[in-house]
Amino acid sequence: MFDLDPDRITAWIRDGGYTSVALQLPEGLKTSAKALSDTIMRDTGAEVLILGRPCYGACDLFTGYKDHAEALIHLGHAPIPDMGYDPDVLYVEVGVRAGLPPGLPGMIADLPPRIGLLATVQHIGLLPALKEAVEATGRTASIGIGDGRVYHPGQVLGCNCSVATAVEEAVDMFILVAEGDFHPLAASFGARKPVRVLNPLTGELRDVDDVRDRILRKRFAAIESARSARDFLVIVCGKAGQNRMEAAKGICARLREDGRNAYLALMDEITPDALLPYAVDAYVCTGCPRVAMDDSSRYRHPMLTVTEVDHVLGLREWDGYEFDCI
């Protein structure tokens, strides 16, 4: 199902002359770590270190790899250009082997004339074929270029939908090629036009309005609950691609101006257990916005995103709700 491209990996190791490499994999690919290590050791002679720590995105890049290995192979994600270039890091995107559903023309027959196309990195290779298929029905198909956090045209991250913003004036709606709800939720909040999700594994085209509405109700409840909070823990994430220290300091200053107490905390893994020692009334997560959006019910106190603080302070109305885009 996954395409790990081991030949590309071993060729890169041999070409670079590396004698040791670290492997960083997201949870869904960790079952491939053993076989990939065998291949690398057999074909290159390099020593392999499997990194057992969690990995949620390229934002999680293990920048300390040089303490353990000469090079790092980061699997499952495209680079984040804003994080800079390291010649000793190889990103292997790991596409999912799937094609467009044969009944696609019929599935899009009721869609408006101008379509924007989006995809997760696992399915980014399907965008040219999807563009051709949409245009064959007489519609226009636009693929946007994102900001410095996005590597591929049309690529949606769970925290960034700038590829949609780039073309939103030119389209009536978006089709996002994705599985599950994680990226569709980002697109439904980040794109200011309707979104339908095309799952190439099931062949289904669906909207995500119900998921979006459920999350919006939870965000409203968290914001309302935090309005009366006195003590806030403002969390900065130490991960290379999630660190927003300046934004966190700005939030502390605004909370204090409003007569609240704000405490700045740096942590790598934001979990309910990690927050237990801090006796506060609310949290603000300036790291991955999905900690608050997707997992807020796991926390004892309201967990806010960066953009939600203004609602708590009465500086932004509910109809001006904005997705926290990194």
List residues binding ligand SF4 (CB under 6 A).
56-57, 59, 157-159, 242, 288, 290, 326
Q: Which is nearer to ligand SF4, 12 or 182 (CB)?
A: 182
Q: What residue number has its CB nearest to ligand SF4?
A: 158
CB of 157: closest distance to ligand SF4 in angstroms?
Answer: 5
Residue bearing tokens 């302070």: 313
> E strands, 179-259, where?
195-199, 204-207, 231-237
Provide the minimum distance between the beta carbon of 76 and ligand SF4 in the complex, in angstroms, as a whole number: 11
Q: Which residues are bridge partners to 283 per DSSP?
A: 233, 303
Judged by beta carbon, residue 83 or residue 96, the one nearer ligand SF4 is 83
Q: Closer to ligand SF4 by CB, 56 or 299: give it.
A: 56
**Backbone CA torsion sign across 91, 97, 102, 108:** negative
Altogether, the residues listed in the chain come to a count of 326
**Identity of the residue, 48 or 80, whose beta carbon is nearer to ligand SF4 in the bound complex:** 80
Of 316, 318, 306, nearest in space to 252 by CA: 306
Given the complex with ligand SF4, which of 121 and 252 has the nearer CB atom?
121
DSSP state of 155: B
Q: How far is the CB of 224 from ligand SF4 (least distance, A)?
A: 25
Distance from C-alpha of 141 to C-alpha of 275, rounded to nearest angstrom: 45
Q: How far apart are CA 203 and CA 299, in angstroms?
A: 36
In terms of CB distance, is 44 or 286 closer to ligand SF4? 286
Q: Report how far residue 91's alpha carbon sits from residue 63's, in angstroms, rounded to the nearest whole number.
A: 13
Cβ neighbours of residue 184 closer than 8 Å, sequence gap 6 or more? 176, 178, 195, 197, 208, 211
158 HSE (CA, 13 A, CB side) = 20
Close Cβ partners of 174 (under 8 Å, ≥ 6 residues apart):
115, 116, 117, 118, 164, 187, 191, 193, 194, 195, 196
Nearest approach, Cβ of 139 to ligand SF4 (angstroms)?
Answer: 30
Residue with tokens 């980014």: 124
Nearer to ligand SF4, 142 or 305 (CB): 305
Q: Which is nearer to ligand SF4, 56 or 283 (CB)?
A: 56
Minimal distance in Å, beta carbon 263 to ligand SF4?
Answer: 22
Q: Tell me the closest approach of the beta carbon of residue 133 to ligand SF4, in angstroms.
A: 28
